[in-house]
Amino acid sequence: MLYEQCHAHLLAIYDHIGHNSELYAIQVADRLTRRSEQIGAFPLSGRTVPEYQNPDIRERIEGPYRIIYLIKPGHVDVVALIHGHQALPPFV
């Protein structure tokens, strides 16, 4: 499940990259979306986020972006999609 805030993050990434290259923006958005979908099928494939020190909060790296997700019984929630240089949001 991709939280609404992550959709906003994805659109912001697309808009930022799209100022220089719409084609590259489409490619990046597609890769981030596909990676997020893969997380649902393989939730343990990501590493534990060191800053949170919780084994249920994990991340996958796609290029310079971090896809942060929470493993819950029966499903996975993607909770943040940020550039690697951005500060992590406080975990809800």
Q: How many residues does the chain have?
A: 92
Residues 13-24: pLDDT tens digits? 999 999 999 999
SS3 of residue 47 by DSSP = strand
**pLDDT surpasses 80 at 5:** no
Overall average pLDDT of the 24-29 stretch: 95
Overall average pLDDT of the 7-15 stretch: 90
Residues 34-75: pLDDT tens digits? 998 899 899 999 999 999 989 999 999 999 999 999 999 988
Give the pair of three-digit tokens for residue 66.
């971090």
Residue ranges and CATH numbers for the domains of the chain are 4-83 (3.30.2310.20)
SS (H, E, C) the chain: CECHHHHHHHHHHHHHHHCCCHHHHHHHHHHHHHHHHHHHHCHHHCEECCCCCCCCEEEEEECCEEEEEEEECCEEEEEEEEECCCCCCCCC
